[in-house]
Copies of this chain bind each other. A is one copy, B any other.
Amino acid sequence: MNSVTKPTITAFKTSPDRGQGLARDMRVRWALEEVGQPYDVRLVTFAEMKQPAHRALHPFGQIPTYEEGDLVLFESGGIVLHIAQTRAGLLPDDPDARARAVTWMFASLSTVEQSIVELQFVMFTERDKSWYEERLAMVHDRIRARLGELSDRLGDADWLDGAFSAADLMMASVLLRLRGHGLLDEYPNLAAYVARAEARPAYQRAFAEQLAVFKAASLAAS
């Protein structure tokens, strides 16, 4: 460990996913739970995220951020890798295996998530366009191409490369965003992979924490 400071993360005051655990603070909460690191949460509204005070922490005005003493990080990939590199439990000890796990983290967040983020843009900004159905089908096919390749690589293994690592935490988090779109179920080994990830006690604790935030916000608003 390079620090014993209790970190503070930011999360949505009212998550747009209504507590489904798809916001990116979930990835950081899950990582902190896996390594047994207690943390504080500061909730921010959409308006606050775009203000200079938050942008000083996160140049792109998003969540999550991560503060630990003088260190400020943004971007879930960078935060999770920092947690994994400074606490035991999320990366293998062997240097080659560590490098492979990091490569899978990048693969999750760029190669695999690219079209999944695009799917959200289609849903949110193109739903009333004349081309909506055709574009949706095109993006679905791009996602299927990646899922097919990932499914082939995973085969009947439990995790991407040996024991569960930050690579699986990130890949499962990305794949979870497909829930409700029906695509994941076309690849039974990937659906089972995500279910295995969700069954982890650390995931369950993190999920409960973010759900409690959403429920509290709903109560306060009602």
Contacts and interface: CB of A to CB of B under 8 A. Distances in A.
Contacts of A2: 95
A152 interface: yes
A8 interface: no
B138 A125 contact: yes
B125 A102 contact: no
Interface string A117-144: 1100100010001110011001000100
Given A125-B138, A129-B131, A102 B81 contact: yes
Q: Count copies of this chain in the complex.
A: 2
Contacts of A138: 125
A180 B61 CA distance: 28
* Chain A at the B interface: SS class: helix
A99 B117 contact: no
A104 B59 CA distance: 10
Contacts of A110: 75, 77, 109-110, 113
A77 B104 CA distance: 10
Nearest to A77: B106
B74 A99 contact: no
A150 B58 CA distance: 11
A103 B125 contact: no
A103 B73 contact: yes
A71 interface: yes
A103 B129 contact: no
A2 B2 CA distance: 21
Interface in A78-109: 78-79, 81-82, 85, 95-96, 99-100, 102-107, 109
Given A130-B131, A152-B59, A153-B59, A103 B117 contact: no
A114 B111 contact: no
A17 interface: no
Contacts of A146: 60
10 contacts: A61-B149, A71-B96, A75-B103, A75-B104, A75-B110, A77-B106, A78-B102, A78-B105, A130-B130, A131-B135
